[in-house]
Amino acid sequence: MATLPKNTDLDKISTILDEFKISFIPIHNDIVLSQLKAGDLYLRATKSYCDCDTILGSLNRQNEYQTLLNSKKVKTLRKKKWTDKEIDKWIKQKLQNKKKKIRRTFNYF
């Protein structure tokens, strides 16, 4: 879920939202709306009911770590005699770089 100021132009940010597989869909909930400033937007911030593959779920790195660990790239690194420690460091660096890219994108706002 997300809340945004009433003057937010969703069309302007739609390209960025699409890039991260997010969609803001209005939700009507009188209890929540009563706690917001008049006119503020209350939104579901995913294209589905799970945010695992979105920027919102990106803080959970466990699934991404496992995906990278099972990737073809890691199999190639193992063939090149990389140690588990080196592979772990490589995966963590990849995830860290992705996190930085996400931060740069959202600092755009």
pLDDT tens digits, 42-85? 887 766 555 555 555 555 556 778 888 889 999 999 999 999 99
Say whether pLDDT at 95 is over 70: yes
Q: Mind giving me the DSSP string for 15-55?
A: HHHHHTT---EE---HHHHTTSPTT-EEEE-SSSS--TTSS
Say whether pLDDT at 8 is over 70: yes
The overall pTM is greater than 0.95: no
pLDDT at 98: 78
